[in-house]
Amino acid sequence: MSTANENSDNKSLETGKHGWDNEQKKDGQPQAGALPSVYTVDDQILQWDGIVDEYLVSGDLGEAEKNILEFNAEHQHHILIKKAIFKAMEKQAYERELVSRLLSVFYNRIIDSSKIAQGFQYALDSVEDASIDIPDAKDTLAKFLARAIIDEVLPPKFLRTCEKIAKSDASKEVIKSAGALVSYDHGSERLERIWGPGDMSSVKRLKQEAKTIIEEFLQNDDLKEAELCLRKLNTPSFHFQVVKQAVRLALDTTNQSKKIMRLLKYLASTGLFSQYQLVRGFKCCYETLGDIILDVPTAENLLDNLTKEARTEGWLPEDFEKV
């Protein structure tokens, strides 16, 4: 992201000399939603960066909610919205759908509607600068706006209001494009799938494709081909699901478990699967162990053995713990 956008984040925080928001002090004391003085402006920005980055990797709304509430900075939620939108722009359809879903789920529950609107306004104000680093920033922001309106996260009048105060030709272009998307015939149906084949609506398809890739590997034993096919899916945030499916298959077909573990080890060694995704995939198996045992009574012992093997070989951390 450009320096100009980072500077706008700094200005929007408007912290007082004690590190609290100016509107969050009364009689010299921090009020609810204010930040303690230990947080500098840079600390605050880094904190929001971390929360968004973790969510885009994990896709875990529950964990995102916990992190947002623990940070206890309601007056800065517009910064969170803007950062989530711009960071998702630099990712793929899957991550963009994650952000659209976060907006819908957290609307007026975790994040006040006024802060969501303010976050979008900040994004519009910054879209011209963002376009320097992200060529499709205007098109993507228009889609985020249109989707938010269809999801009733933003009111339709939001576009009219923004048009009156637009600061650049780029922001006016975004507003016009978003309006056109909303007004199309069958707009709701199209916008629900606005992010295309990699969005959350295609998770079922992605799971099936991942299963097919694993099964084909078991037949041809071609590690590089499996890696190539997984890379073509282009959904890094989905990798934990692939790990989960692979481990589950290893539990179901114990005669194939060595090949499956070799595949996972290889994908870890290439860097395609991050340790976070590997850990999360194994944890998901432990979380659903009660269901797995119904089909595979020895599943717990088998899973413990697979986990021990992965830790010994170094592609699961030594301190890995079951749920």
Give per-residue pLDDT as tens, 4-45: 455 556 555 443 322 323 333 334 333 444 444 456 777 888
d(CA 64, CA 58): 9
CATH of domain 200-313: 1.25.40.180
Residue 105 CA to residue 112 CA, distance in Å, equals 12
Contact 72, 35 (CB under 8 A): yes
Task: Summarize pLDDT for 255-294 with one digit per residue, the tens.
Answer: 899 999 999 999 999 999 988 889 989 998 998 898 899 9
Residues 295 and 297: their CA atoms lie apart, in Å, by 6
For the chain, give every domain's residue range: 3-195, 200-313
Question: Using CA atoms, how far apart are residues 317 and 307, in angstroms rounded to an integer?
Answer: 10
Name every residue whose Cβ is closer than 8 Å to that of residue 167 and which is 6 or more positions away in sequence: 124, 125
Q: Report the top-level CATH class of 3-195.
A: mainly alpha
User: Mean pLDDT for the chain?
Assistant: 83
Cα–Cα distances in angstroms (integers) from residue 304 to residues 247, 308, 310, in the given order: 11, 6, 10
The SS3 of residue 214 is helix
> Comparing 3-195 with 200-313, is the CATH topology the same?
yes
Higher pLDDT pick, 45 / 235: 45
Q: Is 25 helix (H, G, I), strand (E, B) or coil?
A: strand
Distance CA 86, CA 168 (A): 18
Torsion of the alpha carbons at 81, 86, 90 and 94, rounded to the nearest 10? 30
Distance CA 152, CA 22 (A): 31
**Among 113-117, 179-183, 188-192, the least confident range:** 188-192
pLDDT tens by residue, 150-175 = 888 998 899 999 999 998 999 999 99
Please tell me the distance from the alpha carbon of residue 47 to that of residue 76, in angstroms, as a whole number.
11
Contact 179, 188 (CB under 8 A): no
What pLDDT shows up at residue 243? Answer: 94
Closest CA to 314 of 243, 265, 246: 265
| Residue 254 pLDDT level (bands cut at 50, 70, 90) | confident
Q: Given pLDDT bands bounded at 50, 70 and 90, which one contains residue 307?
A: very high
pLDDT at 170: 95
Residues present in the chain in total:
323
Q: What is the pLDDT of residues 105-137, one digit of tens each?
A: 899 889 999 999 999 999 999 999 999 999 999
Question: Residue 244 in 3-state DSSP?
Answer: helix
> What phi and psi, each to the nearest 5 degrees, are found at residue 26?
-150, 125
Nearest to 6 by CA among 35, 63, 34, 46: 46
Residue 73 to residue 34: CA distance in whole angstroms: 6
